[in-house]
Amino acid sequence: MVHVVMATGFLLILIGFYGALTHRNLLRMIVAFTVADTGVNVVIVSVGHMRGRSAPILDRAVAAADAVQRIIDPVPQALVLTAIVIGVGVTALMLAYAWRIYRQHRTLDIARLTALKG
């Protein structure tokens, strides 16, 4: 099961990359990146998953004493949380950029933003 999830994550990354590489519209690229980001998150979570264990929260179901046997690895989850937040930060920034670029050049076509080169 985990392998399926992980494979899905990887495929999402690849799909996202493909979109980002082939769309010339800035917004489409950003959308593609959000897909890839989601893919990464899926991969990370799947890496931390362990069959038959429960979430790393101590409550009535999981007592502190036998937590070692009962919970899954909490670290990837913590990492994903951070990654998600950072991802939205970057996405917001890219969007702001896209807006600014559109305002300036009246275009969202990345192939036309080549004033700087060489």
> In the range 77-96, which residues lie near other proteins by CB under 8 A?
77-96
Coil, strand or helix: which one is 49? Answer: coil
The 29-68 contact track toward other proteins, x by CB under 8 A, reads xxxxxxxxxxxxxxxxxxxxxxx-xxxxxxx----x--xx
Question: Taking the complex as a whole, how short is the minimal distance between the CB of residue 19 and other proteins, in angstroms?
Answer: 4
Distance of CA 6 to the CA centre of its chain: 13
Separation of alpha carbons 47 and 33, rounded Å: 21
Question: Taking the complex as a whole, how short is the minimal distance between the CB of residue 66 and other proteins, in angstroms?
Answer: 9
Question: Taking the complex as a whole, how short is the minimal distance between the CB of residue 105 and other proteins, in angstroms?
Answer: 8
Separation of alpha carbons 117 and 50, rounded Å: 49
Closest to 15 in 3D by CA, of 38, 1, 36: 36
Size of the site for other proteins (CB under 8 A): 108
Cβ(67)–Cβ(58) below 8 Å: yes
Q: Is 103 in the site for other proteins (CB under 8 A)?
A: yes
Question: Taking the complex as a whole, how short is the minimal distance between the CB of residue 16 and other proteins, in angstroms?
Answer: 7
Separation of alpha carbons 50 and 31, rounded Å: 31
